[in-house]
Each structure stands twice: as structure tokens, then as C-alpha cells.
Structure 1
Amino acid sequence: MSVTLVNNQHQGSQGASCSALKNYCAGAVALCLLALATAWVRCSLLDSTLIFNPADYGVYRGTGVAVLSGADFYSQNITGVYVPQGLPFVYTPFTALLLIPLVWLPEPLGIGVWTFLNCLALGILLLLSLIYVRPHLTGVRLAAALSVTYLFALPLNVVAQHLIFGQINLLLVSLCLIDMVRPQTRYLPRGVLIGLAAGIKLTPALFILFFWVSGRLRPALTATATALATVVLGFLLLPEPSSTYFGSKLSGLENVVDLGTNFATSGNSSLQGVAERWVGTHSLLLLAPLLLAIVAIAFSQAHRELACGDGFAAAAVLGCATCLLSPVSWLHHWVWVIPTLAVLVTRGRAARALAIIWALACLAQLTDLGDLAAHAGWPVIPVEIMRSSLVLLALLAMVVLYLPPQRKAHRDQLPARHRRPAL
């Protein structure tokens, strides 16, 4: 009897492993095909530079050129084929080191490779979201669902602008989300990927702060050590740029990121950007109570989600908070919308309705429609609501997710694969 039970358990575990392998293979094949197709289309549109100009990719590649030539890439704008007017490089010296391989590729090929990597990251976000919402999808059905959601996600304003400009945020969001949902392993402790993301761009450091505040010491120490290692590596290989960045540059980064005059434009979908548009100031003294309230709600909600084993929802909440709290959050920074929509559709009618509204707002390019409405002479209130739709919907999502009934309903329905031990 006991032997039979052991054999059945062994066969069950083998079946689960085969099913997981089938999911991974189906998802991987679909991801690669979709990413290759998108990269090919992206490269075919390179001649239409007025609309499809990969300016951010141009900055990244130009920074790699500056590193190899020994030029100071913080004291002047980076120029190139796709950035003739020049744009500043605002990431860490460690990021500059990672961008060197782009120099070794011809620009059209480099853009294709960069787009492919970003599309893979987008596919990973969508795959994790699908598994979160529909954990029983397998094989061909999972690949088909991934293809449909991928095609739906491409025209979302947060994704379309990301791919057009050749941004980096999809890769960073993938690192953070994977780190929060993957099983703990001896060889890759939890916190390494988040620390790496924070070493590339500062905003994921909110995840590290959350680990410390919530008493999760092991991932906090791991993430902090990883982020500090990126800083040390930057100082070792690029001592002067590192001194500049962590000395004078970091304190005035907000004024560089907003490109001088664009802080109050509809493209800056942060709380401070909305405040500048609505009341003419983004003073931290004025906004401090609201910013602290967002931190408190995000940390409390993420802690509760992790307590019931839902690292996916915790990551989505913290990711939305980073976009709200950052002084400058361009539309392409808001790719955290994707996992947040997945969480919302699992949390009851009100949350599902909000997810539909948010998705439609992104599909309709509502922030840009607000600019068009302003030029057409519409009243100020509807214009500013459209321009600030990302921020308003994100705030509403955080409130809806924080409501006790929504949390309880989801805990009762959460698939076993998501109920992992708390960090």
C-alpha cells in the first residue's frame, strides 16, 4: 500500500514536471516567433524616422561609444544618427558598461536585436500574467492565448512608445517581476535580479526599501549587496563618471530627466507631473503627505500579498508605486500596467471593470487625446483628466486592491501554484 502510494506520488510529480516543461516549450516558441516578427516590423519602419525614431536606443548606443572613447557622457548630451539634437544619459555608470556591446553591432542590426530583447521581455510579462490569471492553460492553448494578448498589448500606448523609442524598462520590469514570483534557489537568491535592476536604474530601489521595512532581511541584504556591487564595479572601471554621477549629477537628476521644459507635459505621468499641470507646482513639501500615503499603502498591500504567497500582485503594486513616486514617469515607464491589469481581473467586478477601463484608455492613447482636446478648445477639467488618466487610474487601482473584500476574495480563489511561502 505504502509502495503504491509512493509510486503514485512519483508519477504525479513526473506528470507535473512534463506539464510544466510543455508550458515552457510552448511559451518559449511562441515568444521567440512573436518577438522576431515584431523586431522585423520595427526595423522595416526605420526610414520613417519622424514617427519611429529610436531616440533612446540612439542614446544608449552613443553612451557605449563614449565609454570606449573615454569621453565624458554626463557633462554633455549624447548625439547620433537617431538623436541629432542630442539627449542626456541619465542612468548609472554600471548601465553605461552594459551598453558597450551595442557599439559592436551596426545600428539597424542593433535596433533589431534590442527590439527582439524588449519583445521577449514583453512576452515574459504577458506569459506570467496569463499563468497568473489562467493557471490551467497549457501547451497550444497557452501559446494561442499568449499570441492574442501579445497582439493586444502592442498598441497600448505604454508599450508602443517603449518599442518606438527603444527604451529599457520592459527588461527592468521583467527582472523585478521574475525575482518576486520565482521559487527560491540556492544558486540565485531572491533579491539578486531586483538589486541588478536597481543598479541599472534607481527606481527599482523601492523594492529593496520594501524588503527592509517589511522585515524581509534575506532578500533585503541580497538586493542591497547586488546593487552596491554594481556601484563598486562602476567606480572600478569608470571612476570619473561614477564620481560625477553619485556626486553632482544624482542630486539634480530630476532637472535632467525632464528635458528642461517638459516636466508639465502630458507625457510625464507622475504625481509631481500632474501636480505641476493642475496647481502649477510640484513642491515636495506640498506633495509629501500624498507621497508618503502611497508608500504606506503600497508597502502594506505588498506585505499582505506576500503573506498569502502572491508575489506577482506584490510586484505589481510596488511597480505602480515606483511610477507614481518618481518625479518623472514618461508613458513608456508605465509598462507596470500589464501585470497590474492581470491582478485586477482576478479581484472582483469593480476591479475587473477598472482593468477594462484602464486597458481601453491605453489603447485609445487617452493622454495624447487630451492634448488634441486642449488644442480643440475643450474645457480644462476633461482635458486634464485625459492627460492625467494613467496616474488617476493607478491611484484608483491601488485603492481597489487595498480594499479588504477584494483581498479576501482573491485569497480564496488563488491557485495553489501562487500560494508560495512568504519571502
Structure 2
Amino acid sequence: AGAVLLPADSRRFWTDAVFQSDRVGHAVITDNQSLRGVLARLLHAVDPGLPWLVVAVAVGVLGLSAAVAAALAGQRRLPHAPAWAALACAVTALLVSPVSWSHHWVWCVPLTLLLGAEAVRRGRARWWALTGLAALLFCSYALWWVPHSPGADVPPELRQSAAQMLLSAVYPAAGLGFLALTAAVALRALRKPAPYEPGEGPGRLPATGRNSQTAPRQGVPGQSAPGRTVPDQAVAKE
């Protein structure tokens, strides 16, 4: 509808403006909690350029691979597998995006809930520690403890110290940690055999119908051929 009503503006946006991420502000500002923002502050550059592209491609491939591994593990080998996969995709997108504002990290809520669910299921102290750490990082507002001024001509983030750069990268650091955790639990689950559904098991064959029974062996009355099933009518004819 927008393209029909405003064709010239639509063409300008989709062919030019959409690729100019700096139109929404400098990549270096603290508000930008993507890898591009982290690298801009680390390199003290308004635009990190090629280094960001290389890192974004690598993280994108590894993050989506972790999501695929979680999906392949499935609910039977990895409880909450769909949640692991979906959150891995979301966190990967936040990391590789040119601009991920701090409020885009609302995915921290289901992420923390997933860690809490795993802590309840596993009952291990380290999972409770991970849940608490995630809640602390996302609720601490640590990224706002550093000098920042989004409207400044020369962003103060260009003069951050090492400690300040660490604080202003707290969300991406948590995201990278979550992707590493997803990869670890998914690969471990994939190495385990899938548990059998009720009624399944080694050496058990599913029935072919409600009214099926094992056919007797030819020439040996009363004995059955393992694995061969025929309908009742066929048995009666024999």
C-alpha cells in the first residue's frame, strides 16, 4: 500500500536509505548493543567497517548452526528444544544487526525464563547460577554507567576506557554466552540416542492394524513367523 501511495519515497527507501544505518545515529553510541556497536567502541571508530562484516558473518553462521542443532535434537532428546532454537535465532539477529537498540533486547525475558526452566528441570546449582547471572546482567543497567550522549557531534563513547567498553558491551557478551551454551547443550543432546515412545523399544515392531495377529509358520502348527503379520481373515483361510 505504501509503495502505491508513495512510489518515489518507497523506491528511495528500499534502494538507498535502507542501507544507510547511520541515519538513525552513530553506530558507536552505547544505545547500539550489536557487535557493530561493540567493535566501533573497541576500535574508537564511528564505523568499524570490514572487521564488523567479518565478525558478523562468523557469528551469524555459528549462531544459526546452534539453532539448527537444537531443532534437530528435538523435544525428546532436548527438553525445550523449540525455545532453545528460537532464542538462538533471535540472539543471532540481535548480534549481527547493524543497529540493535537496548530495547530490542527484550528477548532477555524469555531467555532468562528458559534458563530458569532448565534450572528447575535439572536441579543443579550451576543452572541456577546462570539464571541469576542473566537476570543480573539484564537488570543492572550496566551499559548506562558509562559516559554517553546520543545527540553529541563527537560521541563520548569514542574515548571509553577498557572497563567502560566492557560495561557497554554487556548485552552482546551475554548473547554470545547464550549461543555458546545453546551449542553445547544441543551437541550433547545430539550424541544421545533418542528415547523410545511408549510402546516402542528394541525388537518391538508396530502392529499393522487393530485386527492383526501373527501368522503361523508353514508346516509348523502353533508356531509363528516373527515379524510377519496378516489380518484375521487371512489366518482363518489358512
1:397 & 1:353 partners in 2: Cα distance? 14
Q: What is the Cα-based RMSD across aligned positions, in Å?
A: 3.1
Q: Which of 211, 232, 249 is residue 17 of structure 2 equivalent to?
A: 249
Q: Which runs of 5+ in 1 are unaligned?
A: 1-232, 412-423
Matched, 1:399 2:165: no
Partner residue, 2:6: 238
Distance 2:63 2:146 in 1: 25
How is 1:273-422 mapped onto 2 (pairs within 5 angstroms)?
A: 273-280=37-44, 281-283=48-50, 284-287=52-55, 288-304=57-73, 310-348=81-119, 349-371=125-147, 380-404=161-185, 408=189
Identity across matched positions, percent: 21
Letter in structure 1 aligned against 2:13: Y
Q: Does structure 2 conserve the Cα–Cα contact (< 8 Å) formed by 1:298 and 1:318?
A: yes
1:249-285, Cα deviation, whole Å (9 max, x unpaired): 2222x1223x1xx311221110111111113424244
> What letter matches 1:255 in structure 2?
D
CA contact (8 A) 1:302 1:318 kept: no
CA–CA distance in 2 between the matches of 1:369 and 1:305?
Answer: 41
- Residues 338 and 236 of structure 1, relative CA distance in 2, 3 Å threshold: same
Residue correspondence of structure 1 range 31-70 to structure 2 within 5 A: none
Q: Which amino acid aligns with 1:388?
A: A
Distance 1:312 1:290, change over 3 A: closer
Alpha-carbon deviations, 1:380-423, whole Å to 9, x = none?
Answer: 33222111011001111111122138964xx9xxxxxxxxxxxx
Distance 1:363 1:289, change over 3 A: closer
Please tell me whether the aligned partners of residues 64 and 92 of structure 2 are also in contact (alpha carbons under 8 angstroms).
Answer: yes
Which residue type is aligned with residue 249 of structure 1?
A
The whole-number CA distance in structure 1 between the counterparts of 2:147 and 2:128 is: 28
Q: Confirm or deny: 8 A CA contact 2:34 2:96 kept in the other structure.
A: yes
Q: Please say if residues 302 and 317 of structure 1, whose CA atoms lie closer than 8 Å, have aligned partners that are also in contact.
A: no
Instruction: Give the aligned length.
Output: 169
**2 CA distance for matches of 1:306 and 1:320?**
21
User: 1:246 Cα deviation (Å)?
Assistant: 1.5
Aligned residue type for 2:141: Q
Q: 1:315 Cα deviation (Å)?
A: 2.0
The answer as to whether partners of 2:63 and 2:88 remain within 8 angstroms in 1 is: no
Distance in 2 of aligned mates of 1:407 and 1:344: 17
- 1:210-268 CA-to-partner distances (Å, cap 9, x unmatched) read xxxxxxxxxxxxxxxxxxxxxxx43234323322222222222x1223x1xx3112211
The residue type equivalent to 1:270 in the other structure is S
Task: Report the alpha carbon displacement of residue 317 of structure 1 after superposing the two structures with TM.
Answer: 1.8
Aligned residue type for 1:250: V
Q: Unpaired segments of 5 or more residues in structure 2?
A: 120-124, 149-155, 193-238
- Comparing both chains, which one has the higher relative contact order based on Cα–Cα distances under 8 Å and sequence gaps of 6 or more? 2
Structure 2-normalised TM-score? Answer: 0.60
More strand by share: 2
* TM-score for the superposition, normalised by structure 1: 0.35
Residue type matched to 1:297 in 2? A
